[in-house]
Every structure is written in C-alpha cells, then in structure tokens.
Chains A and B, each alone.
Chain A
Amino acid sequence: MALLELRGVSKRFGGLQALARVDIELEDGVIASLIGPNGAGKTTLFNTLTGLYQPDEGEIRFQNRSLIGLKPEQITGAGISRTFQNIRLFSHMTVLDNVLVGMHSRLDTKLWQIFLSTQKYQAREKAAQRRAIELIELAGLSGRENEWAHQLSYGEQRRLEIARALAAAPKLLLLDEPSAGMNTSEAQSLMALFKELIGRYVQAILLIEHNMRVVMGISDRVHVLDYGEKIAEGHPDEVRQDPRVIEAYLGQGVWTARRP
C-alpha cells in the first residue's frame, strides 16, 4: 500500500486552475521528483499537501489516513515535513534553535515541567539538542550552531531548512527546489545526502526540481505537471521520452528553461 495517495486533487485560485484532478501515489522507500514548467502547480501541490491550502476537491491519504481538513501542524505531526522554495528560515534565531523548532511536535513537555525545570525535562532538552546537533552535522553545518540563520550563505540556508524539516522526524520529506542556486558540486553532495536519508531518516522523499541532472540522477519515479494537470509519470527514462512532456517543455529549448 502506498505511503501517500492523492486522488483527484483540485485547487483553483479565482479563475486559475492551479491543480486539476491530480492523482499521485508514492511508495515507501522511493525518491520521487515532481517536475513541470514554471507555474505548473508544483508548489501549490506541496502547499495543499501540508495543509497551507485546502483542496477544492479530491482526497489526500497518508498512511491510509485522510489529511483533508487537518491544520499544518497536525500534518507535520502525522509525519510530513517540508522545505520552502523561497527559503523560510527563522532568521533571528540560531541555527540550533531553528532545528529545535522543527522538533516541537516531538517534544512533549508540559508547562509546569518547564517552570520547575524538572530533571526529566532537562534530560529531554539535552537529548533534543544532541539530536539537533547530529542533524546539523548531517546537513554539513557543524560548528555553526550558534550563528544566526540569516548569517549563513544561500546554499547553507537551504541545507539548514532540510535539517529543520528532518527534526520533525518525518516519514515523508517534501523538498521544494532544494538545489536552486547551487553549483554542480554542491548539487552533487546534496544528491548524496538524499540517498543517505532514505531508509535511515525518512521513508520517502518527494522533491520539486528544475535541475534535470539532479532529477535524472536520483529519482526512482518522476511525476510531471503542466497547467495543473499531471501529464506523465514513471521512470525518469520513460518520462524523458514522453511526447507530452517534450511538448510541455517545447519551445523552451532546454529542460531547465523557464516560462516567462
């Protein structure tokens, strides 16, 4: 049974059909990519999945449980967490605190335990910090714990967002253009990181990418959106040959070209 299942998910903004009856299934243990030209509705799909938008129609099931009507924090609690296309870190908080915020739903401390600073609470905080530091290391940011998030470089901020998302201990990780603005070697090490995550930190990854080298390099499956419609899906090599996909990207020269 699929980890995530979307059935006929639609989302309209006024007269604009951002998502049109999208069906997607995601199995355990896979890295899947969501591609499509600019404005195809990829980010909208993420926002709908994570409860920032409510779909107009359709059903979203995660581990066989409906996510419709849940608030963003409940969906995070259920095991989905994400990064943002336009980095949304907590700028005036330390790197460590950014990651610790990601653990909010996993740290069940009561108000009175905080007031009294009980042993159990302190032990939990310590454990949370250890785990946060481990994730910061995983993201290649060791030693930067006490810097403010906005002091990091662009690429580092993207990786910190991944560490923060991992802190919520998700089963499914959603990454919105994680390699944007990175050079080839940075993108390479990011791909290596994703492979390391599967099975050890998360059960599945769904990523939105414009960088076709990344998409072709690590995806087990690719889903293609165009004007809110899913026009193709399958193994990367199949999708690459698909006439509708070529058509969608036609006139743009290369895969990575952007629609004006």
Chain B
Amino acid sequence: MTRSLAPIGLLGYIFGSFLLAILYPQSVLAFLLFEASLLLLYYIPAHAKVKSTLAALVLIVLMPLLGTINGYYLEVAIQIGIYAALALGLNIVVGFVGLLNLGFVAFYAIGAYLWAIFGSPQANEFIAGGVFPLAPYWFFIFLLLSIGVGALTGLVLGLPVLRLRGDYLAVVTLGFAEVVRALVNNLDKPVNLTNGPRGISPIVKPPLFFRPVLEFFGLEITDAKLYPLYFYFLVLLVVCVIILVTRRLESSRIGRAWKAIREDEIAAAAMGVPVVRMKLLGFAVGASFASAVGVLFAAKQVFINPESFTFMESIGVLAMVILGGMGSIPGAILGATGVTILNLQLLKGLSLWLNGLRQSGAVLTLPLLGSYSLSQIPVQFEPAKYERMVFGLILILMMIFRPQGILPPKQERKR
C-alpha cells in the first residue's frame, strides 16, 4: 500500500517544490525544499526502478530547467557534484580502508593543474613551439589521463608510507598536501611551470561538440548559458560513474578486503588479504577520483591558483565523509550536499536576510530592554563570517550525538 502511495506523494512534492523554486527564484528555502526531494527519495519505500526514474526526473530534467531560470542554482548543483565526487573518493580511503588521509586535496590539485597547464598557454613557457593551449577535445583525453596520473601519484605517496599506522600516516599525508601546494606555489622559477601564486588562466573548456545537434532542433543557446548546463551534466556523469565504480568495488572481494583491513589488519592478513597491496589500491582509486574531478574543476573555473587547494579543503572533504557516515556511499553524497549547501546557501542566505534587515532601518522595540535600531547590527554578525564556526559546531554536535554519521552503512544487504 505505502509502496504505491509514497512515490505519488513524492512526485507531488517534487513538482510542488519545483514550482515554488520557479515562482521564487531568489528564495533559498524553495531551492532547499527542492533539493530535499532527493533525500526523501532515498528514504521512501519504493521499488528501485521507481526511485531511479524519479531521481532521473529531478536530476536530468527539473534541475537543469531550474538552472536556466536561475544560474546560481546550477552553480550550487555543480559544486555539490564536485564535492560529492571528492567525498566519494576520500570515503574509499577513510571509510573503507580506514586510513586517515589529511591531504586528499593534493590529488585534486594535481588533476586541476594537469589540465590547467596544458589546457592554457602556460605550457608554452617550458615547451617550445607555441602549440598550447591544446584544442578543447583534449579535455576528454586529459580527463582519462588524470585517472592514471592520480592513481600513480597515489601509489607513489602510498608505497613509502602505507606501512605507517594511524596518526603517522595522517601526518605524512598532511605533509604531502603541503608539499604539493608549496610546489605549485613556487614552481614559477627557474622554469615557469605553474605560474606560482598568480595562478593560471584562461583554461580551455571542453568542446561543445553537440552544438550542431542543438541547432538542428532549432535551439539557439548562447555559450554563456550553455556552459553551466554542460558542466552540470559532465559533473553528473562523472559522479554517476564514480558511484557505479565504488558500488561495484564495495561488493567485490576488494571492497571486502578494504573493510577487513579497516576492522582488523592482523586478522585480514591472516585470512589471506594482501594488506599493503590492498591499501595501495584504495589509495590509488581514491586519488584517481580526486584527480579526475580536478580536471573538471579547472575547466569549469577557467582560472585556478594554489588558494583553491589549501589544507582547509582537505578538512572540508573529510568532514563531509564523517558527517555523512564513514564507509557509506549515500552518506558521502549527503555529507557533500549538506556542507556545500550550508556554506553556499544557508549562511549566505542568512547574511543576505540580515543585510536586508539592516538596510530596512526598522526599529526593534523590546519590552524592558528598550528599542534597538536594526541598522546598528554590526557587520561582524553576518553568519557568512561564521562559516567555520558554524561548521565546527555542527561537527562537535554530530560527534556527540551521532558519531556514526547521518547515513551510516546499512547492515542489511539486498541480494
């Protein structure tokens, strides 16, 4: 009974919130309600087929439609996708294999710089011939290449350090990320490889190979409108591939070996699991995800500099994995979504609202306390300025009240 009613109710909810978001394009709340439909979708009792159809409706049809009305929504969705992919990669290392990696952003940076250097005039600085930037179609080749490069750097870092345990490994990975950032920051002399702190731009975007198809259907869309949609679908595709690969790995002997190592390394070895090799593999797979996402990020941003790859980024992604629930694929996605929305929308939205109040010049009169002109609210009260604090508080509260994360791995396996 509920199995047939729930999807219909949800469908109503999806369209309702969709309409709200269209009617109130500035409303953060409306968009949040719309985004929540995916979460509801995860929870409702329904057939997997029904669920995936509804998810496809939201992600492939409605979200892009909303995006064409309010480009900012699309930007948020792209950011969520990028962080979800990063969180899924880190989830393999931290959640499955149980290795604390505090420098995950290094692999992201390596992917981003890989495309930034060769997909911009930057490479002309050290390769003669003036053939750079590469043509847009090279983007896809570099996307594939970055998987290999990421895996390789993961192996290179992993080989010497994976014999270390716990805290030691965390410190080494942290150091590695700082080394990568310092290199990127300083490799503008003697040979200008990375252009140092000034960053690299313009970075070539992927080719609009489907343009003729659109024109055939009589759709005239400007590049400025088309690219966000394009990136949205690219990110969506990458996230879907990552989810698929992660799920397959998780249910294979490799995923089982990873979790066994996390639970008890000695017992895992005694059961025939080649511990070092499996750890290396986990490191390499996570790194390859991050590095591929880095390529996407560079192409989307057009400009990148070392500032995008700080230690706080690593910590942010780690927090997403922990908040969502370590070792859980839906958890990593939810964590990434929650944190990104919090940073990009909730806090900014609150700041905007507070600004509005201030500018309205209204006067708040409280009994006993007297009246207070709202225009006097200090600028320091803006929630956006408290991003890290709010974030920290949420982490503390979560660790106290729900240490296993919001969506910890389920114990029942459907087979």
Contacts and interface: CB of A to CB of B under 8 A. Distances in A.
Contact of B249 (A72, A96, A114): A114
B248 A146 contact: no
A46 to B, nearest CB: 10
A135 interface: no
A88 B415 CA distance: 26
A109 B256 CA distance: 13
B412 A101 contact: no
A1 interface: no
B413 A115 contact: no
A228 B412 CA distance: 46
A51 B263 CA distance: 20
Given A81-B272, A115-B248, A117-B248, A100 B256 contact: yes
Contacts of A164: 271
Contacts of A201: none
Given A88-B264, A88-B267, A97-B259, A104 B272 contact: yes
A73 B270 CA distance: 6
B50 to A, nearest CB: 23
Contact-residue bracket for chain B:
20 to 34
A230 interface: no
B278 to A, nearest CB: 9
Contact of B272 (A91, A92, A105, A125): A105
Give the residue among A51, A52, A101, A168 with the most B Cβ atoms within 10 A: A101
A109 B271 contact: no
B274 A73 contact: yes
A91 B263 CA distance: 7
B3 to A, nearest CB: 21
B257 interface: yes
A96 B274 CA distance: 20
B341 interface: no
Interface string A113-148: 011010001000100110000000000000000111
A152 interface: no
Contact of B259 (A82, A84, A93, A117): A93
Interface string B231-274: 00000000000000100110111101101100110111111111
Contacts of A102: 271-272
Question: Which of A73, A93, A107, A115 is most buried by chain B, counting CB atoms within 10 A of its CB?
Answer: A73
A90 B273 contact: no
B14 interface: no
Contacts of B270: 50, 52, 72, 76, 81-82, 84, 88
A107 B271 CA distance: 12
B411 A94 contact: yes
A90 B259 contact: yes
A115 B272 CA distance: 22
17 contacts: A52-B266, A71-B269, A73-B274, A84-B270, A88-B270, A89-B267, A90-B267, A91-B263, A92-B259, A96-B413, A100-B256, A102-B272, A104-B271, A107-B253, A121-B252, A146-B411, A167-B271
Given A97-B259, A104-B273, 17 more contacts: A50-B270, A73-B274, A88-B264, A90-B264, A91-B264, A100-B253, A101-B271, A102-B272, A104-B257, A104-B272, A109-B252, A114-B252, A114-B254, A146-B413, A147-B411, A148-B411, A167-B271
